[in-house]
Amino acid sequence: MTGPPPLLLRDVEVRGRRTDVRVRGARVHEVAPGLRASPGEQVVDGAGGALLPGLHDHHVHLAAVAAAAASVPLGPPAVRSPGEFDRAVGRAHAAAPDGVWLRGVGQDDAASGPVDRHRLDVFAPGRPVRVQHASGHRWVLSSTALDLLGLRGGDGVEAGEDGQPTGRVFGRDAALRGLPLMPPPDLAAVGAALLRLGVTSVSDLTATSSQADLDLLGAAVREGLLPQAVYVSGGPALARHRVDGVEPGPVKLVLADHDLPGLDDLREDVRTARAAGRTVAVHTVTRASATLALAALAAEGAVPGDRIEHGSMLPSELMAWVASLGLTVVTQPSFVGLRGDTYLDDVDPDDVPHLYPVRSLLAAGVRTAFSSDAPFGDLDPWRGIRDAVARRTPSGRVVGAGECLDAGTALAAYLGAPDDPGGPPRRVRPGVPADLCLLTVPLRDALSEPSAEYVRLTLVRGRVYGAG
Ligand SMILES: [Zn+2]
């Protein structure tokens, strides 16, 4: 690949001032007002629009985003009631050729009501169907799907009162991996979608134990399907696995609440990461799993860069522990906007004030960063900023009014360095990589009504993507 052509961005707003920015190769070369165009330089008139460092999504699942695009949406907003769920399954069944697997995503009991294999069998008779819960941590399989996979019982296969499988399956992703998708997943479409959102780099936090999953991402970067810089985690089994084209992120440790590991096992995983020279990112969404995660990190010794993912339930005593261990929290503001009603209905009333804390984490001095967790949260960071400001559920209730942020602080939570989430926002200045996001309007206007519609151009390593 040849290097990007020389570029002059004229009349852009950088940290509140109108200026010009010259890009040479993959880096910002000059930031000063009144720069003259050199021969052969492409010139873009920014018309006073803000030029920001490109956004970083600190926690996403790229392959799952691609797979979700090839799946039937079975949760809000596409499905808001049990009837809509049944009709959506029936329509997808009618439209698909015989024998083809259907994959549904986003299932949410609050919208669809409980789902089991019998319900899938009624609306997609004889068809292999797999439906992923909105959390990503549970599947419901139709009877044909259970038969094809040979999942008649055992670990993670829920049994009903009759002793037969209900179709609900936990923690058996290895059995489900590699099943066919119609149409096949398209990582190039994910890369393009991220560019339209101003996202120039991402951290894939999938806890996979399959080398092929990580290698797929490396290949997508090397082939240019994903123009972004990509950091990949993988689970402890792959702590030493290195992939050309991507950077290693923290080792991902998942604490599944239906099957919490013992403290010794978790400590062992932390040691595995350490032995490979890596930090850890521990998934926790409940008080119990947060306590376990913090106990393990306290016992093994936390190092800078160790992370808590989600931190959905952090009462003040746990927050103080997070702060004293020097941990970073990477969380997802869109969860409140997408599923806040379910949280408010399910969580003990005493715990409601501790749901998805952000402002109090910042006040406690905890480095706190934002991410999408897409496809389980919304890929759009601008929606994340709106949700961090409003914290309003779909029905209009506010989750923890005291945790609302101003839009500028919310934006900054996407601007830390990839290896320092929640650290100081990157800046547009000479010498930095030209990973940039040009808006159509000044920052103040964009923050008054945050929206991806203001993203005009995205530059990754000096290469321009967008309408111009
Ligand atoms: Zn995740």
Rounded CA-CA distance 357/346 in Å is: 17
Kindly give the parts of the chain with pLDDT less than 70: 1, 182-183, 467-468
Tell how far the Cα of 149 is from the centroid of ligand 1, in angstroms. Answer: 25
Checking DSSP bridges between strand 307-310 and strand 280-284, what pairing results, if any? parallel
pLDDT digits (tens, 9 = 90+) for 2-29: 788 899 999 999 999 999 999 999 999 9
Tell how far the Cα of 373 is from the centroid of ligand 1, in angstroms. Answer: 5
Q: What values do phi and psi take at 385, rounded to 5?
A: -65, -45
Tell how far the Cα of 23 is from the centroid of ligand 1, in angstroms. Answer: 34
Which CA distances in Å does 113 have to 75, 84, 142, 217, 258? 11, 11, 16, 35, 20
- Residue 182's pLDDT is 64
Strand, coil or helix: 420: strand
- Residue 317's pLDDT is 94
- Residue 467's pLDDT is 57
Rounded CA-CA distance 322/364 in Å is: 9
- Residue 367's pLDDT is 97
Tell how far the Cα of 89 is from the centroid of ligand 1, in angstroms. Answer: 25
- Residue 24's pLDDT is 96
Which CA distances in Å does 305 have to 23, 316, 418, 421, 433? 31, 22, 10, 8, 22
**Whole-number average pLDDT of the chain:** 94
- Residue 181's pLDDT is 72
Tokens encoding 330 = 């990477």
Checking DSSP bridges between strand 199-204 and strand 55-60, what pairing results, if any? parallel
Tell how far the Cα of 134 is from the centroid of ligand 1, in angstroms. Answer: 11
- Residue 433's pLDDT is 97
Tell how far the Cα of 117 is from the centroid of ligand 1, in angstroms. Answer: 26
Tell how far the Cα of 59 is from the centroid of ligand 1, in angstroms. Answer: 6
